[in-house]
Amino acid sequence: MKKIKLYLNYAGHCFASAQHVVKGDENKLIKFHALFGILHHPEEGWILFDTGYTRRFYEATEKYPNRIYANATKVVVSESDEIKNQLKLIGLKTSEIKHIVISHFHADHVGGLKDFNNATIYCTKKAYQQVKEISDFFAFSKGILKDLIPNDIENRLVFIEDFAAQYSDDIFGVSYDLFQDNSVVIYDLPGHAAGQIGMVVKTNKKKYFLVADSCWDERAYKKGKLPNPIVRLFFDSWKDYKDSLNKVTFFHKKYPEVIIIPTHCSKTTDNLVSNKIDMDVL
C-alpha cells in the first residue's frame, strides 16, 4: 500500500439546527463546517476530497428559487476560506491539483470545482445522473446548485465504477480501489445524497475514513442517534441513509482504530483541522 499524506481544513460554513442534526438535541444553531481534504499521492500527485464553499455560492443563490437554499442554510464564506487561497499560502497552484474526488454534489462539497480546471473529477454515476436529470427549478431542493458545476465537467468526469478496480467487501458489498494500489479506497454511502461515497486513506501515522454526510454527528455511528425525521424531506433516500449508517457503524466496531470523519461533526473535525497546511501531521 502506498502511503498518502493528508491535510484537512474548512472552506466556509453554514448553520444547522442542533435538534435536526440529532433528534432531541437543543433548539440552537450550530456550525456546519464545509470540510475538505488535500491529499498527496507519491505518484498521482495532489488530490482533493470535496471542495467546500466559495463566494460563488452567493451569486448562485441571488435569485429564486435558489435563494430559498441560501435563506435556509445561512452560508458564511470569506475570500481567505476558499481552497484556492489556502493553497496560495504554501505556493501551490490550482493547476497542480490533478484529481478531485467528489463525495456528492451538494453545494458545500462542490463550491470550488470551477477553480481547478486541470483536475480530473471522480464521482459515481448516480451522483452525476441526478445533477443532469433534475430540473434547474427544483435542483436546490436536493442541495444542488447547477451554477457551481463547471461547464466542461463532462470532458473531465470519470465515473468511479468504470475507472477503479472493484473488490468484494464484507461490509459495503464492494470497494473501489481508485488508483489500483490500495492507497485510496472508496465505498458507496448513498442516502443523504444520490450516489454519495466515502473514502479510506492510510497515512504514515493513521488510517482515516472520510464518510461525508453519511452521518452528521459521531453519536450516529457510536450510539445510534439519528437526525430528526424532518430531514427526510431533503434526503435522497431515508432507507438508504439508515443502511449506509448501519454499515459505517459496523465498520467502526470492526476497525475501531480507524478514525471516522463525518464532514460536519465538529467534535471530530476540530481536532484534525489546521489553519496551516502541513502534510505531515495526520
Q: What is the pLDDT of residue 14?
A: 97
Q: What is the pLDDT of residue 168?
A: 98
- pLDDT, tens digit, 9 for 90 and up, residues 193-202: 999 999 999 9
> Per-residue pLDDT averaged across 19-39, rounded?
96
For residues 95 and 66, the answer to whether their CB atoms sit within 8 Å is no
What is the length of the chain? 282
- pLDDT, tens digit, 9 for 90 and up, residues 100-124: 999 999 999 999 999 999 999 999 9
Beta carbons within 10 angstroms of residue 67's beta carbon: 13
DSSP state of 271: T
Distance between CA 99 and CA 115 in Å, rounded? 13
Minimal CA–CA distance to 248: which of 272, 212, 282, 273?
212
Give the model's confidence band at 1: pLDDT under 50 very low, under 70 low, under 90 confident, else very high: low
Q: 5-269, which class in CATH?
A: alpha beta
Residue spans of the domains in the chain: they are: 5-269
DSSP state of 76: B
Residues 251/254/259/260 CA torsion (nearest 10 deg): 20
DSSP 3-state of 253: helix
